[in-house]
Amino acid sequence: MDYKRGAPADRPGRVWEPERRQVAVHALMLRDAGYQVDHAALYFAETRQRVRVELTDGLLDATEASIAELRTVAASEVAPLPLIDSPKCPRCSLVGICLPDEHNLLQARAARAPRRLTPTDGSARPLYVTEAGASVSVRSGRMIVNGRPSREVGVKTDVRASVRMLDISHVAVFGNVQVSTQALRELFARDVPVLYFSGGGWLEGVAQGLPSKHVQLRTRQVALATAGGLDAARLMVRAKIRNSRVLLRRNTRTDNTIAVQRLAALADAAEMVDSPASLLGIEGAAARTYFGAFASMLRPELTLPGASFAFEGRNRRPPKDAVNCLLSFNYALLVKDLVAVCIGVGLDPYLGVFHRPRFGRPALALDLAEEFRPLIAESTVLNMINNGEIAASDFVVRAEGVALTKDGRRSAIAAYERRLDIEITHPVYGYRITYRRVLEVQARILAAWMLGEIPAYAAFTTR
């Protein structure tokens, strides 16, 4: 006897085939335990009806064949192909991970554009703690951020923020911020990573719970990183150059025809290279061309010699001017988000296909960041400067470098988060999606390519 909440099927026999197989499994298990079972039954609570199911030889043979098939699938190292246009997919809780229509399109198994099955962005957002001396604790399911303790006796510490745990996607702390052990344990239990930045905005470390349970994916990633993933690296670099070219064409205020044409040629050349060294050379040449014309996208009065946002080329560690300071800070935020995405998908952020593995370098996050640098980081910098969201007073000169002040950093984080919430049309799948969500989709597509589920990685480019 099995119980169902609904009503019997409106068809001969009054039950669906999966329901017949389900009660047949119960009967087989009871028989295996020594009980005598002649028939089965289903009780439907909505109509309070009992429907008898005959245990025919045909039903039992079909059920045992299904069990054998399921055991074969479970033992296989390759996941089964997704269903095509299945009406079950839109209501499946795993559709955002499975991405059935996207995989079928990339495998040429379905000609129609994917349905928008990926769930919209959740309410969870990063929690930034930028105040030096602040502390993070947990109380009653909320993350509490306290300011620097007062030195005066009897003066309570101010509560800077109180956020529900379920509203936090990851925690980013800058400089000397204390995170309690209780808070870390609660975050790890919810698979929420903590990313530590230096006071200047450099990503210095990641704290997370247990590593991913997707052992098969990690095995493939290690093998791919060892052998070199030139196929995907070519597409990533080509997408980065093409996106840089699009940004330059859309925002340039002077004639940059030569730079645009050279970037187009370098993007085509990146797709044809046969070695990582050649690809690195093309990527470097494209960066020099692009940043040589970068100042043309800024308001002319801001880039005059000696002006607040004069830009003569890319420099870093430390950045020597305000524009490079903003670029470096936004790159760090982008890599931070992609490290969190890689951890969530089950990828190791330190094993890349373009950036070579090196101690402390999140190579895979840097790989995924390539195609998004112009679209997210550099676009954010241009908007902040040209719209007057940041001024010279938001920067401070320290030693030989330029750093953001406390208020400048807050403005930069707010602008970056706004950029992530912008919706764009996905160039491959055709549906609207935010930059925040597309980061995860690209990481899952990369994971599917590593597992051999799709023939090639599909990089993200805009027109």
Mean pLDDT by 10 residues, the chain (463 residues): 87 87 93 92 91 91 92 82 81 77 77 64 79 86 83 72 86 88 89 83 79 80 80 88 90 84 88 84 90 85 73 80 89 89 85 78 87 91 88 82 85 90 83 85 87 83 80
In whole angstroms, what is the distance from residue 327 CA to residue 291 CA?
11
In whole angstroms, what is the distance from residue 320 CA to residue 389 CA?
20
Q: Where are the alpha helices (DSSP H) in 121-201?
A: 181-189
For residue 109, give every residue at least 6 positions away whose Cβ sits within 8 Å of its Cβ, in sequence order, or none.
81, 84
Question: Element (H or E) spanning 195, and its range?
Answer: strand 194-197
450 near 221, Cβ under 8 Å? Answer: yes
Own/partner contacts of 318-322, CB < 8 Å, gap of 24 or more, are 318/200, 318/398, 318/399, 318/400, 318/401, 318/402, 318/403, 319/401, 319/402, 320/400, 320/401, 320/402, 321/402, 322/392, 322/395, 322/402
Question: Which residue's structure tokens are 């996106």?
Answer: 243
Residue 154 confidence (pLDDT): 67
The whole-angstrom distance between residue 103's C-alpha and the CA centroid of its chain comes to 17
User: What are the tokens at 454?
Assistant: 């799709």
What predicted TM-score, i.e. pTM, was given to this entire model?
0.75
Residue 117 confidence (pLDDT): 59
Q: Where are the alpha helices (DSSP H) in 271-378?
A: 276-292, 322-345, 363-370
Residue 30 confidence (pLDDT): 94
339 near 365, Cβ under 8 Å? Answer: yes
In whole angstroms, what is the distance from residue 335 CA to residue 439 CA?
11
